[in-house]
């Protein structure tokens, strides 16, 4: 394939200072380093993490100025000298949250690269996918088969991957029940589809009629509305069929309450998996019942390269059909406003060309 023409500048959404605003403007296109690729991003999902990054919600500084975004799907247009022949110009590829890692520490060697102390984070410590040309370490790009739609695969690159990994980390087995908290949002919707494909029974927890209907359409057997339930703990336990509570609880909500409630309804010997990261939040559980019920509480953080391929494979086999809406990159702030108002059902994907 002849080398595509790469412009010297491009449109991007740029954060100049923590707290925002984002500014839609022209910035230079960067050249990839020796072990990197340059990807012409076509579509990028918008994750709540992008909003946390802009607002400075977490005890980890971002680069500034910053181009956010870490669910980018596009086409490889340039590669550094050290990149092998297994990546060709014209290949379809994804940029995910983990933009790169050292590949030689004990975590990287064991397939736990998200734990690498030298990890680079797309749209956080390095520029991400809310621009037309984005860079990633070649070893970490997601390989996207060419017959798959770049628009619909974009949300798999973080929401799908993270939800799938969280379900694996829960160790819930086919036939067992998981409570998915924050099920109406981007990660939650994906978790519903992966859980269904993995043979799990699902209790979805979120707020509002629209999210309730969406959750049921995506595979939830029961929907518990946290905004109207008078006794959430009782309702979730009752929804677990034998009344003992779900075998696993996966927490995607961007509020602290669920992180302090889950231990009250998870089943004895059950597992609580924390994935959502609300600002300044703490997990709380009574020591006595955590001990005598042998409860496990753990975190789960994106996924490794193998998890990425597996998550894409579920999608490629037609098992993952979480809803998304497309909007121009120029309208990113509107997505953030809806996210803050909790009115997004599923995911927004930005079309980076407009």
Q: What does 215 bind: Zn ion, ligand 8ID, none (CB cut-off 5 to 8 Å by kind)? A: none
Q: Between 279 and 292, whose beta carbon lies closer to ligand 8ID?
A: 279
3-state secondary structure of 276: coil
Q: Between 255 and 290, whose beta carbon lies closer to ligand 8ID?
A: 255
In whole angstroms, what separates CA 162 from the centre of its chain? Answer: 5
- As a three-state string, the secondary structure of 176-239 is CEEEEECCCCHHHHHHHHHHHHCCCEEEEEECCHHHHHHHHHCCCCEEEECCCCCCHHHHHHHC
Q: What does 267 bind: ligand 8ID, Zn ion, none (CB cut-off 5 to 8 Å by kind)? A: none
Query: In angstroms, what is the minimal distance from the CB of 161 to Zn ion?
Result: 9
The closest residue (CB) to ligand 8ID is 185
Quote the CA–CA distance of 318 and 315 in Å, as a whole number: 5
Q: What does 187 bind: ligand 8ID, Zn ion, none (CB cut-off 5 to 8 Å by kind)? A: ligand 8ID
Kindly determine how many residues on this chain lie close enough to bind Zn ion according to the rule CB under 5 A: 3
* Residue pointed to by tokens 């029940």: 177
Enumerate binding residues for ligand 8ID (CB under 6 A): 47-49, 52, 158, 162, 181-182, 184-188, 205-207, 226, 252-255, 257-258, 275-277, 300-302, 339, 342, 344
Quote the CA–CA distance of 114 and 161 in Å, as a whole number: 12
Quote the CA–CA distance of 271 and 190 in Å, as a whole number: 19
Q: Between 253 and 272, whose beta carbon lies closer to ligand 8ID?
A: 253
For 293-319, letters b (16+ CB in 10 Å) and e give bebebeebbbbbbebbebbbebbbeee
Within a 10 A sphere around the Cβ of 327, how many other Cβ atoms? 16
Query: In angstroms, what is the minimal distance from the CB of 237 to Zn ion?
Result: 31
Q: Between 130 and 252, whose beta carbon lies closer to ligand 8ID?
A: 252
Query: In angstroms, what is the minimal distance from the CB of 329 to ligand 8ID?
Result: 17
Q: Between 49 and 101, whose beta carbon lies closer to ligand 8ID?
A: 49
Q: What does 307 bind: ligand 8ID, Zn ion, none (CB cut-off 5 to 8 Å by kind)? A: none
Q: Between 144 and 302, whose beta carbon lies closer to ligand 8ID?
A: 302
87 Cβ contact partners less than 8 Å away, ≥ 6 residues apart: 37, 76, 79, 93, 138, 141
The closest residue (CB) to Zn ion is 47
- Selected binder of Zn ion within 49, 131, 222, 271 (CB under 5 A): 49
Q: What are the DSSP E strand ranges found in the chain? A: 9-15, 22-28, 36-46, 66-67, 72-79, 92-95, 98-100, 120-121, 133-137, 142-143, 177-181, 201-206, 222-225, 248-251, 271-274, 296-299, 324-328, 347-351
x/- letters, 154..193, toward Zn ion (CB under 5 A): ----x-----------------------------------
The residue range among 150-158, 196-204, 214-222, 269-277 that interacts with Zn ion, by the rule CB under 5 A, is: 150-158
Q: Between 47 and 262, whose beta carbon lies closer to Zn ion?
A: 47
Quote the CA–CA distance of 37 and 41 in Å, as a whole number: 12
The residue range among 16-24, 41-49, 249-257, 275-283 that interacts with Zn ion, by the rule CB under 5 A, is: 41-49
Query: Which stretches of the chain bind Zn ion, using CB under 5 A?
Result: 47, 49, 158
């Amino acid at each position: 394939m002849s080398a595509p023409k790469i412009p010297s500048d491009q449109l991007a959404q740029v954060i100049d200072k923590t707290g925002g605003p984002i500014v839609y403007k022209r910035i230079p296109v960067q050249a990839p380093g020796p072990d990197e690729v340059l990807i012409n991003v076509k579509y990028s999902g918008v994750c709540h993490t992008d909003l946390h990054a802009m607002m400075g919600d977490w005890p980890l500084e971002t680069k500034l100025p910053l181009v956010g975004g870490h669910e980018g799907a596009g086409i490889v247009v340039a590669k550094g000298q050290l990149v092998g022949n297994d990546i060709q110009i014209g290949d379809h590829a994804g940029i995910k949250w983990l933009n790169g890692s050292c590949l030689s520490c004990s975590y990287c060697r064991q397939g736990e690269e998200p734990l690498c102390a030298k990890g680079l984070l797309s749209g956080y410590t390095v520029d991400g996918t809310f621009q037309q040309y984005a860079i990633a370490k070649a070893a970490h790009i997601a390989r996207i088969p060419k017959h798959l739609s770049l628009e619909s695969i974009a949300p798999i690159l973080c929401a799908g991957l993270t939800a799938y990994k969280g379900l694996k980390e829960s160790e819930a087995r086919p036939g067992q029940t998981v409570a998915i908290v924050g099920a109406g949002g981007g990660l939650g919707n994906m978790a519903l589809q992966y859980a269904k494909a993995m043979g799990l029974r699902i209790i979805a927890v979120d707020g509002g009629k629209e999210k309730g209907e969406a959750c049921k359409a995506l595979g939830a057997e029961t929907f518990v509305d946290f905004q109207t339930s008078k006794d959430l703990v009782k309702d979730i336990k009752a929804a677990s069929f034998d009344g003992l509570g779900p075998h696993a609880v996966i927490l995607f909500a961007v509020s602290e309450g669920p992180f302090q409630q889950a231990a009250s309804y998870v089943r004895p010997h059950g597992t609580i998996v924390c994935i959502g990261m609300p600002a300044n939040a703490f997990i709380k559980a009574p020591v006595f019942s955590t001990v005598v019920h042998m409860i496990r509480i753990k975190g789960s953080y994106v996924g490794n390269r193998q998890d990425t391929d597996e998550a894409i494979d579920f999608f490629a086999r037609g098992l993952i059909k979480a809803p998304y809406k497309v909007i121009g990159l120029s309208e990113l702030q509107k997505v953030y406003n809806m996210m803050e108002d909790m009115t997004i059902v599923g995911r927004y994907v930005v079309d980076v060309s407009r």
